[in-house]
Amino acid sequence: MRAVAAGLVLAAVLVAGCSTAQPLVDVPASLTTLPLPSGAAVVSNVPGTAVESCDATASLRPSAEPGPTVQKIRKRGRLVAGIDQSTNLFSFRDPVSGELQGFDVDIAREVAREVLGNPDAVEFRLLTSPERISALQDGTVDIVIKAMTITCARAEQIAFSTVYFDASQRLLVPRDSPIQGPGDLAGKRVCSQVDTTSLATVSRVAPKATLLAVRNWDDCLVALQQGQAEAVSTDNSILAGMAVQDPSLHLVGPSLEAEPYGIGVNKSQDDLVRAVNAALERIRRDGTWSSLYLKWLTVLGPPPSPPQAKYRD
């Protein structure tokens, strides 16, 4: 059994790609002799992931013309960005300085540069995954940049920028594990977060796997380290952050599902969507995107080309 103290976990990780949380059932005591993380449970009857068909990744064309939302932000003097502090590599708190840093943090600063002319004119508000959409709808934040997958269901509630990062769902296992892909998951316990589409994807590609649902991604890491799960499945970007924390783990297998990340904006604020897209267009063109990838994400491999923008107007 791989017993590693939970205190070794340097940063929790969350996920993009939420769906309705599934009902939880008690974990049989025979599954483990160690206590599972609080709220962990085995789930069953997880609905399959529907194929996206609404073209949700198509956004509004960039514009530098300041509309009412952008003017309001400029009058305030700061951009308010919803983010988290525990997604290693994307948005996490440096253990030495205590400052937020990561790929998403730097992207938010580039949006502030575009809107306000100052990359430091950004106020970060910490959000949980269930708070992301409501925080945009009620005006608590201007944007949400939190490793959030663009989906048809979300696009009915909020607006999205163009895709700023292409993630894909994969598997994380110990290096000495025989698991090499979804075909090896029958009878295995796979951990994922309860309020994400990751569970549904595993249920679809490995219907004979046992699904362990937890409240937070760091709980999946602890469950894997303690031998209470044999694999974790979510976005490769989040799994890579776990592997950095524990080098005895690695990613395996093919992509199980595409996970395009977008910046969330209130659905009524088209001018802000266009300003955000102007920032993303600039960093694709001037090499900033590639520089940020090299700064934070080389664990995922050599830098790809930035995601190509897709517009609907």
* pLDDT tens string 10-45: 333 333 343 333 444 444 444 445 777 766 778 766
Q: Which secondary-structure segment (H or E) carries 292? A: helix 288-296
pLDDT attached to residue 129: 80
Residue of higher predicted confidence among 215 and 298: 298
Between 129-133, 207-211, 284-288, the lowest mean confidence (pLDDT) is in 129-133
| Range list of H helices, 206-260 | 217-225, 236-245
Burial profile 175-214: b = 16 or more Cβ within 10 angstroms, e = fewer? eebebeebebbeebbbbbbbbbbbbbbbbbbbeebbbbbb
Give residue 166's pLDDT. Answer: 96
Summarised one tens digit per residue, pLDDT across range 135-192 is 999 999 999 999 899 999 999 999 999 999 999 999 999 999 999 999 999 999 999 9
| Beta strand extents in the chain (DSSP E only) | 41-43, 79-83, 86-87, 91-93, 100-101, 122-126, 143-144, 159-160, 165-174, 189-193, 210-214, 231-235, 249-261, 264-265
So what's the pLDDT on residue 216? 76
Place of tokens 């599902």: 257
**Of the listed ranges 33-42, 84-93, 96-105, 178-187, the one predicted with least confidence:** 33-42
pTM: 0.82
pLDDT tens digits, 41-69: 787 667 654 556 689 999 999 998 899 99
> Both tokens of residue 117?
């002319």
Q: What architecture does CATH give domain 68-167+261-300? A: 3-Layer(aba) Sandwich (3.40)
Predicted pLDDT at 172: 98
Domain 168-258: assigned CATH number: 3.40.190.10
Please report the pLDDT score of residue 51 as a whole number.
Answer: 54
The pLDDT of residue 226 is 92
3-class SS of residue 232: strand
Q: What is the pLDDT of residues 180-236, one digit of tens each?
A: 999 999 999 999 987 677 888 998 999 999 999 887 788 899 999 999 999 999 999
Model confidence at 7, pLDDT cuts 50, 70, 90, reads very low
* Mean model confidence pLDDT for the chain: 87
Query: Where do the CATH 3.40.190.10 domains begin and end in the chain?
Result: 68-167+261-300, 168-258
Query: What per-residue confidence (pLDDT) applies to 2?
Result: 41
Pairing verdict, β 210-214 and 189-193: parallel
Q: Exposed (0-12), middle (13-18) or buried (19+): which is 258, by Cβ within 10 Å?
A: middle
Residue 8 — pLDDT band, cuts 50, 70, 90? very low
Q: Are 108 and 83 in contact (CB under 8 A)?
A: yes
Cα-Cα-Cα-Cα torsion 242, 243, 244, 245, nearest 10 degrees, comes to 50
Residue 209 and residue 202 in contact, taking contact as beta carbons nearer than 8 Å: yes
Residues, the chain: 313
